[in-house]
């Protein structure tokens, strides 16, 4: 990874926990990249994110180009090119919900309009319930994780409610996976 970032200045852009960080890198010629780090055993491994980004890019979605992805010891690294435009987390945009909401909606619309049948990453009801079941059996769900409306339930009872309330059918769409302000940008020229 070092050969891709030698000579680039870095500043911390985002930290979701002390072991998961994103740096904004500025190259000698002014170009920008983002370098993410996460534990190799993270729930969503960066190697999986790299595969998904590459697929999304090949399918016309506005995602950053993967420069490099690797694992070193107990850490994973993902280096991407910056997308053109501005970040949705910009303070002036966050202060203007009337401008922010349509930008976020358009981004989601672009993902959801992609052909879900061609997406190789399963994520329907069965996959989601199997995932939550594994987390429950591993003791990774606590009452503190539950929405206050369901705080009276035990984790097992909450998972039981998910099973009981499962919908009869699905309307599958391609989803972003981590659609939050630091991960969304918008083109100021559009």
Catalytic residues: 178
Q: What share of the chain is helix, strand, coil (3-state, %, to 5)?
A: 40, 20, 40
| Alpha-carbon gap, residue 118 to 189, rounded angstroms | 30
Nearest partner of 18 among 34, 39, 32, judged by Cα: 39
Residue 70, number of CB atoms within 10 A of its CB: 14
SS3 label, residue 62 = coil
Taking the CA atoms of 116, 119, 124 and 128 in sequence, report the sign of the dihedral they define: negative
> What is the separation of C-alpha 151 from the centre of its chain, rounded to a whole number of angstroms?
26
């Amino acid at each position: 990874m070092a050969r891709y970032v030698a000579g680039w200045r870095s500043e911390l852009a985002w930290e979701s926990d002390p072991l998961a960080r994103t740096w904004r890198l500025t190259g000698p010629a002014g170009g920008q990249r983002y370098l993410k780090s996460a534990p190799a055993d993270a729930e969503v491994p960066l190697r999986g994110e790299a595969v998904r980004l590459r697929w999304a890019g090949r399918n016309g979605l506005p995602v950053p180009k993967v420069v490099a992805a690797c694992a070193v010891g107990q850490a994973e690294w993902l280096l991407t090119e910056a997308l053109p435009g501005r970040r949705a987390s910009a303070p002036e945009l966050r202060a203007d919900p009337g401008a922010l909401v349509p930008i976020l909606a358009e981004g989601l619309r672009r993902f959801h309009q992609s052909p879900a049948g061609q997406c190789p990453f399963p994520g329907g009801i069965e996959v989601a319930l199997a995932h939550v079941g594994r987390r429950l059996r591993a003791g990774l769900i606590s009452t503190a994780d539950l929405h206050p409306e369901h705080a009276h339930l035990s984790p097992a009872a909450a998972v039981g409610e998910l099973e009981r309330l499962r919908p009869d059918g699905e309307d599958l769409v391609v989803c972003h996976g981590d659609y939050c302000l630091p991960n969304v940008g918008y083109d100021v020229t559009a």
